[in-house]
A and B are shown apart, each in its own frame.
Chain A
Amino acid sequence: QKEVEQDPGPLSVPEGAIVSLNCTYSNSAFQYFMWYRQYSRKGPELLMYTYSSGNKEDGRFTAQVDKSSKYISLFIRDSQPSDSATYLCAMSRIKAAGNKLTFGGGTRVLVKP
């Protein structure tokens, strides 16, 4: 079993819909959670960074962390075709700069006009 599980998709939604993405993890030591967006043949771009449980909102993006369930989510409101990409969750145990991240496999999202 992988440490971080993420449905590979593709997740297809109509333009304007809410995109709902999630990851589950097994290691209760993870405390820092990130969501990255990766367009085809590009490097990942950091979207959201959260610490411990709770919600964080940034524009159309909302990240949720439920440590008791070992479950994190990313919601994208008013989705646009430009949101079509692969979304990767990542997590870390400690806040040290040299600490490795554990990534999910990524979910491919298609927003249809």
Chain B
Amino acid sequence: GAVVSQHPSWVICKSGTSVKIECRSLDFQATTMFWYRQFPKQSLMLMATSNEGSKATYEQGVEKDKFLINHASLTLSTLTVTSAHPEDSSFYICSATRTGTYNEQFFGPGTRLTVL
């Protein structure tokens, strides 16, 4: 149990376009989902915390208008990178915690974004 999927697994786009990444909890309901960014050989950098039905909470330094997060249901959160630029190229990973008093985060497989 506790499987999280992400789609797409990798995406290449042109500079200036927008890209949407989906994060789904497949076998559990997730009240909270988290979005991370990871650069090569570095640890996870939390971008935002997403709660179902409410606005996401962004970490300091993360542009809300650039990284749009929507958590429309208990099993789906989306991250849209708007007007992507080459510096947005990175590995984006989501995680989810099960509804209730559980703080273990279960991670998706990640999405590699390359902006040309």
Which bucket holds chain B's interface residue count? 20 to 34
Q: From A44, A99, A101, A103, name the one whose CB has the most chain B CB atoms within 10 angstroms.
A: A44
B4 to chain A: closest residue by CB = A43
- CB <8 Å contact, A49 and B49: no
- CB <8 Å contact, A97 and B107: no
Which residues on A sit within 8 Å (CB–CB) of B101? 95-97
Which residues on B sit within 8 Å (CB–CB) of A36? 107
Which residues on A sit within 8 Å (CB–CB) of B112? 41
How many residues from A make CB contacts under 8 Å with B? 26
- CB <8 Å contact, B51 and A95: no
- CB <8 Å contact, A44 and B44: yes
A residues near B, CB below 8 A? 32, 34, 36, 41-46, 49, 88, 90, 92, 94-101, 103-106, 108
B residues near A, CB below 8 A? 2, 4, 6, 31-32, 34, 41-44, 46, 49, 51, 91, 93, 95, 97-110, 112
Beyond the given pairs A49-B104, A97-B103, A100-B34, 19 more chain A to chain B contacts, judged by CB atoms under 8 angstroms and listed by A's residue number, are A32-B103, A34-B104, A41-B112, A43-B6, A43-B109, A43-B110, A44-B107, A46-B2, A46-B106, A46-B107, A95-B101, A96-B101, A97-B97, A97-B100, A97-B102, A98-B49, A99-B103, A100-B46, A108-B41
